[in-house]
Amino acid sequence: MGFTTSAALLDGIVLAVVSREAQGTYGYRITQEIKQVLDVSESTLYPVLRRLQKDGCLSVYDQPCNGRNRRYYQVTEKGRTQLEECRRTWQAYTRAVNSLLGGEQP
């Protein structure tokens, strides 16, 4: 049995991965880190990166790499705020689900 990952949860996951590096990280690396844990495609993750950039949660800069530009993403202050809210919501959600799946009263 598999579970689907909502857009809000994907936003939080992407923000968490990008926030690990103070100088930011590039798209391919982000997708590879997430794909190690979740079954999602690059074609799903790149629109998430663009949406988070458009919403002001990520900033972007290009840096030369092997004769080409590599696009780096960094979490903005707004993105850090959104990530913290996502973490709080996730903790409450997992506690509630674990109590139900574990047979406990919520």
Would 1 be classed as within a structural domain? no
Would 36 be classed as within a structural domain? yes
Residues 5-24 have pLDDT tens digits of 888 999 999 999 999 998 99
Would 95 be classed as within a structural domain? yes
**Domain region containing 68:** 7-101
Would 94 be classed as within a structural domain? yes
Query: What is the three-state SS of 30-77?
Result: HHHHHHCCCCCCHHHHHHHHHHHHHCCCEEEEEEEECCEEEEEEEECH
CATH code of 41's domain: 1.10.10.10
Q: Indicate the pLDDT class of residue 1, thresholds 50, 70 and 90.
A: low
Structure tokens at 92: 């409450």
Answer yes or no: pTM beyond 0.85: yes
Structure tokens at 102: 């574990």
Mean pLDDT of 42-50: 92
% of the chain surpassing 70 pLDDT: 95
Q: Indicate the pLDDT class of residue 105, thresholds 50, 70 and 90.
A: low
- Counting the structural domains of the chain, the total is 1
